[in-house]
Structure formats: C-alpha cells, structure tokens
Amino acid sequence: MEKFSDASQILTTEMRESDLEKAIQYATISLPWTFDRMQYGIKSQRVVNDRIMNILKGVLNQSILKRALEDRGYECGTDWSNYRESDIFDFEINDRLYDVKTTHVYSEYGDSDSQYGGSREPISPELIEEYRANEGPEWKTFLPMIVPFTQLEGSRKKDAFIFGIAETEKDIRRTEPEEGEDGFWVAAPYNEGKNRGTHFFHTENAIRAREEKGQGFNIEFQWDSKQTTLGGDDDKEIEITLFGEWDGERREETFTLRKHGNYTSDTEFSSFSMARVKNAGVLDEPDEITVTPHSNYDGEIPKPTNPNIDLDNDDLEWVLKHDSFVNLQMPSEYSVMWVGYTPQEEFFEDFQQYKAWFNPKEDITKNEPARATESVKKGVPATRQEAPKPN
C-alpha cells in the first residue's frame, strides 16, 4: 500500500446542490433516532444545533465522495435508509466496505484581520503535506483520532477508514439569520427546565408506543413579543415547515404564522425532528415563538430507566428566538480534501501506539476538552503519556 507523501495525492472535491439535498433529507428525518441512541442529554439550543450540523455534514461528505469516485469509474454504494437502527453507514467501493470520517476547518479563524487573532495558515493540500508527521496535541482531535471508541470493534467488518477534511470560510455553526436572506434555517428541541423536548419528541420508546397505538401528537406554535414597538410590525409573518414521521414515513407540514398569532398542526406525528423557518431573519430579538405539543396518547409511556417519568408528558414549552437557528444551506464553496484511507487492522495497531495529550485539571470531576497549549498559557506544564492499550 502506498503511504501519503505528496500534496498531489489528495483528492479535492466540491459540493453540488444534489449532494446537499440528500444530506438535508436525511438530517430532517433521522435526528430523533440519532439523539436517542447517543443519549446526548442536550441542554442548550446551540449544542443541539451543532449536533444537527454533524449529522448533515456526515451524509453530505459521503455524497460528495461517492459522486467523485463514480465519476472516476469506481462502483460505490451507500444506504442511509436504516436510520432507525444504526448511525454506522456502509460505504462500499468495488465490493469493499469503508467507514468515512471527516473533520471541518473554518478558514476565518486564521485570517490576519480576524477578531480571533488570526495566525493560522489556510488549510490546503500543501499544508497537510508539510505537517503530515505532526504528533502535536492539536492533532488529538484531527486525524486519525476522530474515530469514536465505540466504532473500534473488530466485529464491524470494515475494510478501512477513509479520512477527509472539509473546509469553509465562515464558521457555519455561528451565523444568525438576517431579514431578506435565503437559507435553510432550522432548530430542534432540547432539554432545559420545562423544555423536555428530547424526552417527548426524540425518545424511541415514546415513538414506537405511539405508532403501536395509533395515537401521536400535534404541535402548536404561538408567536409573541416581549416588547411593544411603534413601527407597526404587527403584520409580520413567517413560513414554518415541520419535519417528522410516522412509522418510518416522512411527514411534513408547511404553514404561515403571523405575529401575535398561533397555529396548531393538522398533521399528527409520532416523532418530530425539527422546524424550518424559511424567513427566520424576520424575527427580532424581543420575539419569541413558544412551541407546545398536544398529545393524543391515551395513558402514559414510562421511561424504562425511571418509570416515574412519563415520556409522553406534553406539559412542556420550547421557545424559539432570533438566535435559535442554524443554517443547513452550506456555502457554495464547500469542499472536502480526501487525505486517503487506512486499513482497519493497521488503524487498530497504530491507535494503540498513538500518544495522548492531557492537562491537569483544577477540578478532576469536570471532564472538559483541553490542549497542552492552554496549559502553557496558564503556566501549568503540559504532560504527555502513552495511551493505554485496550484489554
């Protein structure tokens, strides 16, 4: 097998709209099942939006790679229809199975005039070649360490891991909608206080119980403002699309919501992934859209690990504000640099030899990511130790 040694060996691929459409279709229906399997326990809108982006980019990058390889004569196969059972996709090339892993670089953080300081060279095949042997701490979250531990089981029968690096100028996770701007602005429920959105909308036990009984829920939206204006903006309206399903069948509903108005969906759902607000920039900072489900389920759906909790308890409120949304409409310059692949057995062997970096913490009960460079800034010596070998 030829080892990576030259920038010309990196395959750089550009996104097409058809790639993005496939990814959005998957993300807008699969989210409840992914969240339930991962047991994220998400407690903020920003975190849930970041998770949505991770789901989207995973499928987007595979779609880009599949098309690029097929254009070069390879026979490729993917299957994203099994989202209710697994998040691990088989990516097949000429009858061999691969697992595609990608990370994302946002170039704006390296700009010289950036508010973030700006001292980093733009990502490029030449830069990857120059630092291909770097074993520093920043690569702990780069390549090849982005393979989750749960996916290192030899029983998964993958032939190899494929690694790629996606790049955009802007940090697409941190943009906010502006009035008159196009985009695919979405938000999904999370858990905080009275908002137990992931419990109600995203739990497999609740979803299957509703489908078995034929009793789901409808969703109500109420748009209010915490501030009275003199500008006469009470005639504002937005277009909302709901994404959910019933027994594996996609269900969508689009409606118009006026300021100070309310609307309850005609569609009955067993699960609800997210809501899209087509013209989200219309929402001002004082505006709030309160989302509440109305259950049609006769009885309770006990949580398996705590039967005192009713997963179908619809006494909850999810509040949408101006900054609640993330844009799934990727920039047209979105690209992925494919570095290469590593056979599974070789990766297992290398993984055990990879040196892990960590920082001593003031509070050992807090499990937070850190970098050796942060320790240096604080005057704490960075420590390096061998990663323990699995039993």
How does pLDDT run across 238-270, given as a tens digit for each residue? 999 999 999 989 999 999 999 999 999 999 999
Residue 105: inside a domain? yes
Buried b (16+ CB within 10 A) or exposed e, 241-254: bbbbbbeeeebebe
Same domain, 112 and 193: no
Average pLDDT of the chain, as a whole number: 80
Residue 297: inside a domain? yes
Residue 301: inside a domain? yes
What is the band of 377 on the pLDDT scale with cuts at 50, 70, 90? very low
Residue 180: inside a domain? no
Same domain, 310 and 229: yes
18-47 average pLDDT score = 83
User: CA 123, CA 110: separation in Å to the nearest integer?
Assistant: 9
Same domain, 213 and 73: no
Same domain, 114 and 42: yes
Total domain count, the chain: 2
Same domain, 191 and 305: yes
Q: Is the pLDDT of residue 49 over 80?
A: yes
Same domain, 76 and 112: yes
Residue 387: inside a domain? no
Same domain, 149 and 248: no
Residue 386: inside a domain? no
| CB-CB contact of 348 with 154 (8 Å) | yes
* pLDDT at res. 381: 38
Residue 363: inside a domain? no
Cα radius of gyration (the chain): 23
Last residue of a domain, one of 277, 311, 327: 327
109: left (phi over 0), alpha (psi -120 to 50) or beta: alpha
Same domain, 119 and 11: yes
Same domain, 231 and 109: no
Same domain, 339 and 320: no
What is the band of 391 on the pLDDT scale with cuts at 50, 70, 90? very low
The residue range of the domain holding 241 is 185-327
Closest by Cα among 78, 83, 72 to 19: 78
369-383 average pLDDT score = 40
Same domain, 91 and 209: no
Q: What are phi and psi of 216, to 5 degrees?
A: -110, -130
Closest by Cα among 293, 267, 265, 289 to 277: 289
Residue 261: inside a domain? yes
Same domain, 144 and 278: no
